[in-house]
């Protein structure tokens, strides 16, 4: 067992010692001298600890494990093994903030107390003097920890149990979140990475994105100090004809916010639904006005889609996910093989994959409107910052290859989610509130959908599956400003308060999650890059598949009105635009009865028509949603489960090979450049180093499918996982099973 992130905090910030005086620590516990400490992060304080805690291995039947110290700080629950661990086996993919035996407090999903044979969910309040013999912690990143307290001193055991329960489950105020004490004590240099990721907290970023997509809308800067409405972002873009008065009328509700412009000129907008008011014409006429404004954006057409009506609610999403995730908290081998029997139907029944499918389907319908019909699209939703964010960002990913680059994707999340006002704080329940009504993994759902696209069209994405998995984990690392606030206004007001109370230290500078160097070193960050990514070829036409003229494929298209979107700057002919003008009259009808969910047959046709064209990884991408195409995000969900690790296998074995080859190619390229320059300078260069892929490929054989999250260490295990339990019982063996097999004589031949 490896100890937690040893080097990370230490090397970067030597100053942390001064903030946690030894006195403070001593006051928290009885026996400070014997206990081990993790390398605390700046601003991290140990609350309590207990020694001789036994961390059990996954299989609960074997009571084997490692002895060590369990402690709870204001950042994490941490276990430090008593065993000496070889520093040389430091994992390649190490998180600087927390190690493999650390659980950030916000990452705790559920705590169970193990009492003899029973297991009880700990809810917090009932903890008084009792403490269980075993603490079982389920983490939001799907890890499972089991700590036996039976060998601890009673006092220690009680204290650590209460401490963990208190700090992980009891509500806390935002200011007590670790990020604030961490950031107070750390100076983060401005990251280069950040500069390339557009944060959408300035007018320039919005202007740039609008310009990039050649949109023709209006950038609003009047809300920079939230003068218009706290519900609106600091900067945003609206259709040209929306007036300032319109923006304030309903505190920003009902206001169509620009998301993205299609090259035809039509654009995608999102809005939150107006509050329902009975017998009042104002909202309706306001809405008609807004719709007209949207329609004016391009050729007088608009299509609305009320996501609240057609997609699962945030509560549905939460319910489904809470069922789904349970399949991955495996307590024992027996558990694993028993649940294996009904694996497919369990997955089906929790509905999580179906929700993913519905979101992708909806996004595809939006794409269809933009791409095929060149309609402006206005998606709406009660809050305007949950499914609107999911659908608009998915649609943009499908339509715009810029967002499939690493920086583009991060910019997209900034634009649609962070600036777009997704309630990260509430949805992720960073404050451990007991009232879970607002909790819902909406952002995770989005990442799930992105993963589906990624696994279907690998070469289209610059970032890797590992990147998405790490991003999903980072939601629950309470350090990043990205996931701590409900909106830009919320963030601004909190930071202002914090600033005033700590004015002597200057402004708080919480890192964003995009500052990956906070968590990973450069080498580890390389795993974020997808080696399959086919970068946009520029001039080198000869290597590229000739692009055939698109009209060739149109004959087979079902709809006569379908025109493959022509190049940028192309305008539709007259008759077409007349048709669009006629449509504007129907807007009000759409308003009253929102579009019934489109019959999937039309989007089927859209998909099939698209599919018949040659695939262009830099063009439009549409997901295949047929049963087998929507899959489980194996890396995220199965990475900690011993039984499903493929030793020496998994996609990583080939991806690492591709990576190696990619490195070679780049190295050759550098050599080539060197040589061409040496031709001018006429310097002799050493011969290129012979490329030895052999040793590298050997290594890939030693990886496991859970790479990089679990490493094989020294115990390259040859022991396969053999199913146990009642295998035969699951088959509803009918008559056929009893038929004498193989024996032709015994059968009556037909």
Partner 1 sequence: MEKSGSIDSLGSKRSSSRQPSVDSLSSASTSRSDRSAQAKPPSAMSSDSVATSTELSPELRVRKPACHVLRDSSKEEPQLLPNEIVQDMAKDVTYICPFIGPLRGTLTVTNYRLFFNCIDRDPAFVLDLPLGVVSRVEKIGGASSRGDVSYGLVCKDMRNLRFAHKQMDDTLRKSIFEVLMKFAFPVSNGLQIFSFEYGQVFPENGWKVYDALTEYKRQGIPNESWRITKVNDHYELCDTYPSTLVVPVNIPDEELKRVAAFRAKGRIPVLSWIHPESQATVTRCSQPMVGVNGKRSKEDEKYLQAIMDANAQSHKLFIFDARPSVNAAANKMKGGGYESEDAYQNAELVFLDIHNIHVMRESLRKLKDVVYPNIEESHWLSNLESTHWLEHIKLILAGALRIADKVESGKTSVVVHCSDGWDRTAQLTSLAMLMLDGYYRTIRGFEVLLEKEWLSFGHRFQLRIGHGDKNHTDADRSPVFIQFIDCVWQMTRQFPAAFEFNEYFLVTILDHLYSCLFGTFLCNSEQQRVKEEIPKKTVSLWSYINSQLEEFTNPLYVNYSNHVLFPVVSLRHLELWVGYYIRWNPRMRPQEPVHQRYKELLAKRAELQKRVEELQREVTNRSASSSSERAGSPTRSITPVQTFV
Judged by CB under 8 A, the chain residues 333 through 362 that form the site for partner 1 are 336-337, 340-345, 347-349, 353-354, 357
559 binds partner 1 (CB under 8 A): no
The vertex-131 CA angle with 125 and 137, nearest 5°, equals 75
Q: Does 558 sit near partner 1 (CB under 8 A)?
A: no
Query: From CA 470, how far away is CA 447, in angstroms rounded?
Result: 11
Q: 424, 487, 437: which is closest to 177 by C-alpha?
A: 424
Which residues in 10-39 contact partner 1 (CB under 8 A)? none
Determine, following the binding rule CB under 8 A, whether residue 615 of this chain makes contact with partner 1: yes
Residue choice 163, 256, 441, 531 for contact with partner 1 (CB under 8 A):
531
Closest CA to 371 of 301, 459, 267: 267
Cβ at position 420, least distance to partner 1 in Å = 30
Sole window of 77-85, 139-147, 435-443, 607-615 interacting with partner 1 (rule: CB under 8 A): 607-615
Contact (Cβ atoms closer than 8 angstroms) between residue 165 and residue 157:
no
Q: Please, where are the H alpha helices in 542-650?
A: 574-583, 587-592, 600-612, 634-638
DSSP one-letter string for 224-236: TTSSS-TTS-SSE
Query: What tokens appear for 349 in the block?
Result: 């029944």
Q: Least distance to partner 1 from the beta carbon of 286, Å?
A: 39
- Which residue, 319 or 634, is less far from partner 1 as judged by CB? 634
> How many CA within 13 A on the CB side of residue 450?
32
Backbone region of residue 409 per phi and psi (left: phi > 0; alpha: psi in -120 to 50; beta: other values) = alpha
Of 24-32, 244-252, 479-487, 742-750, the segment contacting partner 1 by CB under 8 A is 742-750
Comparing CB distances to partner 1, the nearer of 226 and 637 is 637
Crossing angle between the packed helical segments 465-474 and 442-456, to the nearest 10 degrees: 170
Name the one range near partner 1 by CB under 8 A: 190-198, 302-310, 472-480, 665-673.
665-673
Closest by CA to 80, choosing from 105, 51, 56, 40, is 51
| 599 versus 734: smaller Cβ distance to partner 1 | 734
| Rounded least distance, CB 642 to partner 1, Å | 10
Taking the complex as a whole, the smallest distance from the CB of residue 727 to partner 1 amounts, in Å, to: 5
Cβ neighbours for 587, distance < 8 A, ≥ 6 positions apart: 288, 291, 292, 295, 302
The residue within the footprint of partner 1, chosen from 277, 669, 692, 713 (CB under 8 A), is 669
Kindly state whether residue 742 participates in binding partner 1, applying the rule CB under 8 A.
yes
Q: Is residue 489 involved in binding partner 1 (CB under 8 A)? A: no
Establish if 64 lies at the interface with partner 1 (CB under 8 A).
Answer: no
* Residue 303 bridge partners (DSSP): 377
Minimum distance of partner 1 from residue 629's CB (angstroms): 7
Q: Which is nearer to partner 1, 27 or 728 (CB)?
A: 728
Pick the binder of partner 1 from 23, 154, 280, 740 (CB under 8 A). Answer: 740
**Beta strand residue intervals within 101-227, DSSP E:** 102-104, 108-115, 118-122, 134-139, 144-148, 218-220
Judged by CB, which is closer to partner 1: 123, or 669? 669
Q: Out of 536, 551, 586, 713, name the contact with partner 1 by CB under 8 A.
A: 536
Residue 272 has phi, psi (to 5 degrees) of -95, 145
In the block, tokens 């035969």 appear at 728
Site for partner 1 in 264-323 (CB under 8 A): none
Report, in Å, the least distance between residue 466 CB and partner 1. Answer: 15
Among 34, 62, 614, 692, binds partner 1 (CB under 8 A): 614
Out of 120, 214, 434, 612, which residue is the one contacting partner 1 (CB under 8 A)? 612
**Of 72 and 398, CB closest to partner 1:** 398
Q: Three-state DSSP class for 502?
A: coil
Strand order in the sheet with 46-56: 102-104, 76-81, 65-73, 46-56, 144-148, 134-139, 108-115, 118-122
Residue 327 C-beta: closest distance to partner 1, Å:
9
For 667, the token pair is 């190295």
Q: Would you say 18 or 684 has its CB closer to partner 1?
A: 684
* Residue from 278, 593, 601, 676 binding partner 1 (CB under 8 A): 676
Which lies closer to partner 1 via its Cβ, residue 389 or residue 655? 655
Q: Are 325 and 268 a contacting pair, CB within 8 Å? A: no
Least distance CB 618 / partner 1 (angstroms): 11
CB of 726 to partner 1, least distance (A): 9
> CB of 606: closest distance to partner 1 in angstroms?
12
Residue closer to partner 1 (CB basis): 187 or 665: 665
Report the distance separating Cα 417 and Cα 199, nearest Å: 11
Shortest gap between Cβ of 63 and partner 1 (angstroms)? 24
Site for partner 1 in 133-162 (CB under 8 A): none
- Size, binding site for partner 1 by CB under 8 A: 113
Instruction: Compare residues 245 and 344 and give the one whose CB is closer to partner 1.
Output: 344
If the CB atoms of residues 372 and 639 are measured against partner 1, the closer one turns out to be: 639
- Residue closer to partner 1 by CB (options 221, 739) is 739
Contact positions with partner 1 (CB under 8 A) in 422-481: 456-459
Interface residue with partner 1, options 221, 496, 668, 713 (CB under 8 A): 668
CB of 364 to partner 1, least distance (A): 13
Smallest distance, partner 1 to C-beta of residue 195, A: 24
Q: In this structure, are strands 302-306 and 376-381 parallel, antiparallel, or unpaired?
A: parallel
Using CB under 8 A as the binding rule, the residues of this chain from 623 to 662 that contact partner 1 are 624-629, 631-632, 634, 638, 643-651, 653-655, 657-658, 661-662
CA distance 35 to 49: 8
CB atoms within 10 A of CB 676: 9
DSSP string of 429-490, one letter each residue: TTT--S--TT---HHHHHHHHHHHHHHHSGGG-SB-HHHHHHHHHHTTSTT-GGGT-SSHHH
Residue 392 makes contact with partner 1 by CB under 8 A = no
- For partner 1, the closer CB: 592 or 750: 750
Please, which residue, 522 or 539, has the CB nearer to partner 1?
A: 539
Q: Is the peptide bond before 708 cis (omega within 30 degrees of 0)?
A: yes
Nearer to partner 1, 240 or 673 (CB): 673
Q: Is 248 exposed, middle or buried (0-12, 13-18, 19+ CB in 10 A)?
A: middle
Cα(142)–Cα(293) distance, integer angstroms:
46
Q: Which of residues 681-720 bind partner 1 (CB under 8 A)?
A: 682, 684-685, 687-688, 697, 700-701, 705, 718-720
Q: Is 126 helix (H, G, I), strand (E, B) or coil?
A: coil
Q: How far is the CB of 88 from partner 1 (least distance, A)?
A: 24
Please list, in sequence order, all residues whose beta carbon lies within 8 angstroms of the beta carbon of residue 344, skipping any fewer than 6 positions away.
none
Torsion of CA 9, 12, 17, 19, to 10 degrees: -90
- Measured from the CB atom, the residue of 351 and 511 that comes closer to partner 1 is 351
| Number of neighbours of residue 108 by Cβ within 10 angstroms | 22
């Amino acid at each position: 067992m490896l100890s937690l992130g040893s080097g990370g905090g230490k090397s970067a910030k030597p100053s942390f010692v001064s903030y946690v005086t030894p006195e403070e620590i001593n006051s928290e516990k009885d026996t400070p001298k014997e206990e081990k400490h993790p390398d605390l992060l700046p601003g991290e304080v140990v609350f309590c600890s207990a020694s001789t805690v036994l961390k059990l291995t996954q299989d609960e039947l074997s009571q084997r494990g490692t002895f060590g110290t369990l402690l709870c700080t204001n950042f994490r629950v941490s276990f430090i093994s008593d065993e000496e661990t070889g520093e040389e086996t430091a994992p390649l993919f190490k998180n600087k903030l927390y190690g493999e035996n650390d659980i950030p407090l916000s990452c705790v999903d559920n705590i169970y107390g193990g009492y003899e044979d029973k297991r009880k969910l700990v809810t917090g309040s009932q903890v008084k003097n009792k403490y269980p013999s075993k603490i079982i912690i389920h983490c939001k990143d799907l890890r499972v920890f089991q700590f036996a307290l039976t060998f601890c001193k009673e006092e220690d055991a009680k204290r650590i149990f209460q401490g963990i329960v208190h700090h992980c489950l009891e509500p806390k105020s935002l200011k007590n979140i670790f990020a604030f004490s961490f950031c107070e004590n750390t100076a983060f240099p401005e990251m280069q990475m950040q500069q390339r990721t557009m944060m959408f907290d300035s007018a320039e970023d919005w202007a740039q994105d609008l310009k990039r997509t050649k949109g023709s809308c209006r950038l609003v800067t009047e809300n920079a100090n939230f003068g218009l409405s706290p519900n609106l972002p600091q900067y945003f873009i609206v259709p040209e004809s929306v007036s300032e008065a319109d923006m304030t009328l309903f505190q920003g509700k009902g206001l169509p916010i620009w998301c993205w412009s299609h090259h035809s000129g039509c654009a995608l907008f999102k809005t939150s639904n107006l509050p329902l008011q009975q017998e009042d014409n104002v909202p309706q006429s306001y809405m008609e006005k807004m719709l007209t404004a949207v329609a004016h954006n391009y050729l007088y057409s608009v299509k609305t889609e009320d996501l609240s009506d057609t997609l699962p609610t945030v509560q549905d999403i939460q319910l489904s996910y809470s069922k789904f995730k349970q399949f991955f908290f495996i307590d024992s081998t027996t558990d694993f093989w028993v649940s294996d029997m009904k694996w497919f139907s369990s997955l089906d029944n929790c509905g999580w994959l179906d929700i993913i499918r519905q979101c992708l389907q909806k996004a595809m319908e939006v794409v269809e409107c933009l791409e095929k019909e060149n309609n402006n699209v206005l998606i709406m939703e009660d809050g305007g910052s949950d499914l609107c964010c999911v659908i608009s960002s998915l649609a943009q990913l499908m339509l715009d290859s810029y967002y499939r680059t690493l920086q583009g994707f991060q910019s997209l999340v900034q634009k649609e989610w962070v600036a777009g006002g997704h309630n990260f704080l509430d949805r992720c329940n960073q404050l451990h509130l007991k009232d879970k009504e607002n909790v819902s993994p909406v952002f995770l759902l989005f990442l799930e959908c992105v993963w589906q696209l990624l696994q279907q069209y690998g070469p289209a994405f610059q970032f890797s599956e590992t990147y998405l998995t790490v991003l999903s984990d980072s939601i629950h690392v309470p350090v990043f400003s990205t996931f701590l606030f409900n909106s830009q206004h919320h963030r601004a007001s909190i930071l202002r308060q914090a600033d005033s109370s700590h004015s002597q230290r200057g402004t708080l500078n919480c890192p964003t999650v995009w500052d990956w160097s906070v968590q990973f070193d450069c080498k580890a960050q390389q795993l974020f890059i997808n080696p399959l990514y086919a970068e946009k070829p520029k001039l080198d036409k000869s290597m590229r598949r000739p692009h055939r003229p698109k009209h060739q494929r149109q004959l087979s298209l079902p709809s006569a009105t379908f025109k493959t979107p022509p190049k940028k700057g192309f305008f539709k002919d007259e008759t077409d635009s007349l048709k669009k003008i006629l449509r504007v009259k129907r807007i009000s009808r759409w308003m009253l009865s929102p579009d019934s969910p489109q019959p999937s047959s039309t989007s089927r046709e859209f998909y099939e028509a698209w599919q018949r064209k040659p695939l262009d990884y830099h063009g439009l991408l549409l997901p295949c949603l047929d049963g087998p195409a929507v899959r489980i995000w194996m890396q995220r969900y199965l990475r900690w489960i011993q039984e499903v690790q493929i030793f020496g296998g998994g996609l990583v074995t080939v991806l690492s090979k591709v990576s190696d080859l990619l490195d070679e190619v780049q190295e050759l390229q550098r050599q080539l450049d060197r040589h061409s320059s040496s031709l001018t300078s006429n310097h002799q260069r050493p011969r290129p180093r012979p490329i030895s892929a052999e040793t590298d490929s050997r290594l890939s054989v030693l990886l496991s499918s859970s790479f990089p999250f679990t490493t094989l260490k020294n115990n390259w295990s040859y022991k396969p996982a053999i199913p146990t339990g009642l295998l035969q019982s699951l088959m509803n063996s009918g008559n056929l099973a009893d038929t004498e097999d193989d024996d032709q004589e015994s059968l009556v031949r037909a």
